Structure 1
């Protein structure tokens, strides 16, 4: 037998490939306690790398075998293997065959089982060799550890999220097109979650709200990637960019159509709420004395607010309610052109609405931040179909029993039914109603 041509180290044992007169390879393992020869057939010698062998210890001995895809075909010499080692190889082959059969019978189930076995984030393991590397080279591992910690915060913070949207009815009691849309992305981006409600209005309001639902999250994600340190600025730029895309969309006419939008972006334990219009976001906090309070995460943008009215009037618009033929005021304050009774928008900020935008209605969001504290139980985002006749306190009082019982879907149904009942009692129409409820785990 000729001189050894290659030697490599694996788990402190030496693997030596030897070539005999028949030009076949022989793998020899050497250690202080064990010495074993394994013959490898010539047709496999080009497929097996000595640095990628799959080695195991069994009964104090080192068993070296080719990779799993060759287990059933490799020509291993078993003359000196113990019975337990033979059983090990047989069992491995049987398990692989059974696993392959299961995957062929139910590919979806197999993928789910495999994904359940894999951790989403692996904690960095710094070896003694790596510990001698300069700190700058270890920065990627530390970033991974930081990401893992933030992901754990998010998972521990949000328990679950629930949604429900129902179309309203017109004066003839006929169900109309639902112009509301909602956003519920619990795993939005890295350590972030995103929730929102869009309330469309006008002839093509449903198209506007759906466009915002589909494009605003993409723009926020893109802006955050470009400027991860400035979350509020990224959100504001995303609103403006989405509005520009909406107004330039050929398939949507936004002359007298648009949509309100409120979103809550949760980053670690901080909520960034951006609002345009009169959809609303609140949070329920349970005080130490057992009293529940509703904390507003957004402000409704009504035209008669001093700051909003000032901007509209400076832009050439006017703010007043609708005036009927008798000169009586009807309904809330609205935005009108200086010399024409259009568009009559009942909010001072919105997406779309090109005519209203010409007289001071803007899409720039008002962004408020909230640090989640002990006692914060759940968050609610809803269109004005809910807030028209229900106060913040009434909403959290109705939801709280369902939070205790962990029945979020039932809580959504309760709010929708109560809102419909009040619309029937107070108006001839029923507005579209959309609600998103986010349950938090108890904070320590």
Structure 2
């Protein structure tokens, strides 16, 4: 007997269609869980197509071949509805019938189930396991509503951040070790984003900035978990803890090495900026008339500021610029020991710097809170390699065209190139240059 075979699938079971000389069709299935011969009625074989079989008879009943894994029912009416629509209607009718039977058996239980169902639907982001628990256990999860709202706020404020860091050059025009580091954690903790710039100095300055980059976020996270109600206090303690860890880390010599650091922590629509040294954070705001202004989120800590100078002198230090052999003053004001010309630090706050710390240089940050407003477009954090020759207004004017085109990487490149150009024009060296640009959503 010559046989022509065809294999297809019926509910993921293999079927083989065989045709003998008498034109009778036999279907055989091969499966560990389902084995049965299916006889196809001769008067129905004309309905079978070599490419699409819609129905077969098994044990005298008409079976509809399922078209997808979602069709688990055997008998369906021959309407023009799709298989999935038919299944939905059948399941819906079955559910209504089941609910009606339960309501007739226990009206009180039925009303409680309907009430529970409505409550579960209203609660966002509750796991399926919790959703199956009694309603009294779900009441403690109502604070998830607040978390959900905060997450929505965060998504509507911070869009994306861009970064670029480039090493400077020494007097011989040779590229030196980049002592800058940056922090860019858009999804930092719960509804928070964290950005920062660390500018190292001294022999181990690059190690100091990298240590702060790696450990400061961890300490902020840890202390915020212990005291979430006081964000400024947690940030301040995290700076002190990180500095203690850095100064006691044997692999980094912090006698004359350290790092400035500025961070901006975005919580909902509030920006907490903590600064130690002369790195800086600003924000660009656009007014209703289209004009733009630069708003400082931090203050540079220079030794000749009255409050900073007073503290240093009270600790036994002195503040004055470098004096050359002719008695002329060179450069900015610096921190010195009272009787020795060390360390010559050009900022009044810093991580590390043990010698400078002995005469009034501190690592305690100045923390400013800023409430975001409509019209705030983007935020910029940068090391003093940018701010040495560029004003806040110049920086935002350079970045804005790229913000309008959503070209953040190009904006970073423009800031770095312009900074290098100005260093070449005004000095014999080029400082390390690092910039972090955070674009906010255009619609809040």
Q: Which band: TM-score by shorter chain?
A: 0.7 to 0.9
- Aligned mates of 1:256, 1:81 — CA distance in 2: 91
Identify which of 122, 125, 132 aligns with 2:125: 122
CA contact (8 A) 1:281 1:382 kept: yes
SS at match of 2:300: coil
Moved over 3 A (4+): 72-92, 123-131, 137-140
Does residue 375 (structure 1) correspond to residue 378 (structure 2)? The answer is no
Does residue 284 (structure 1) correspond to residue 284 (structure 2)? The answer is yes
The answer for the alignment partner of 1:32 in structure 2 is none
State the structure with more CA Rg. 2
- Aligned mates of 2:35, 2:228 — CA distance in 1: 56
- Aligned mates of 1:228, 1:179 — CA distance in 2: 33
Does residue 409 (structure 1) correspond to residue 409 (structure 2)? The answer is yes
CA contact (8 A) 1:282 1:294 kept: yes
The answer for the alignment partner of 1:142 in structure 2 is 142
The answer for the alignment partner of 1:345 in structure 2 is 345
**Quick one: structure 1 residues 152 and 323, their matched pair in 2 at CA, closer, same or farther if it must change by over 3 Å?**
same
- Aligned mates of 2:306, 2:61 — CA distance in 1: 89
- Aligned mates of 1:85, 1:331 — CA distance in 2: 87
- Aligned mates of 1:256, 1:325 — CA distance in 2: 23
1:292-336 deviation per Cα after TM superposition (whole angstroms, max 9, x unaligned): 000000000000000000000000000000000000000000000
- Aligned mates of 1:227, 1:156 — CA distance in 2: 26
Write the mapping of 1:181-196 to structure 2, written as runs, cut at 5 A: 181-196=181-196
- Aligned mates of 2:373, 2:197 — CA distance in 1: 24
**Quick one: structure 1 residues 91 and 316, their matched pair in 2 at CA, closer, same or farther if it must change by over 3 Å?**
same
- Aligned mates of 1:330, 1:349 — CA distance in 2: 21
Write the mapping of 1:172-321 to structure 2, written as runs, cut at 5 A: 172-321=172-321
**Quick one: structure 1 residues 90 and 226, their matched pair in 2 at CA, closer, same or farther if it must change by over 3 Å?**
closer
The answer for the alignment partner of 1:35 in structure 2 is none
**Quick one: structure 1 residues 138 and 315, their matched pair in 2 at CA, closer, same or farther if it must change by over 3 Å?**
same
1:170-189 deviation per Cα after TM superposition (whole angstroms, max 9, x unaligned): 00000000000000000000
**Quick one: structure 1 residues 81 and 420, their matched pair in 2 at CA, closer, same or farther if it must change by over 3 Å?**
farther
- Aligned mates of 1:342, 1:196 — CA distance in 2: 29
SS at match of 2:333: strand
C-alpha deviation, 1:91, in angstroms: 8.0
SS at match of 1:165: strand
- Aligned mates of 1:79, 1:219 — CA distance in 2: 72
**Quick one: structure 1 residues 252 and 75, their matched pair in 2 at CA, closer, same or farther if it must change by over 3 Å?**
same
- Aligned mates of 1:363, 1:305 — CA distance in 2: 16
SS at match of 2:386: helix
CA contact (8 A) 1:123 1:145 kept: no
Write the mapping of 1:69-80 to structure 2, written as runs, cut at 5 A: 74-75=33-34
- Aligned mates of 2:392, 2:350 — CA distance in 1: 22
Which residues of structure 2 form unaligned runs of 5+?
Answer: 1-30, 37-57, 73-123
The answer for the alignment partner of 1:400 in structure 2 is 400
CA contact (8 A) 1:199 1:261 kept: yes
- Let me know the Cα RMSD of the aligned residues: 2.3
Which residues of structure 1 form unaligned runs of 5+?
Answer: 1-71, 93-120
- Aligned mates of 1:355, 1:368 — CA distance in 2: 28
- Aligned mates of 1:80, 1:129 — CA distance in 2: 46
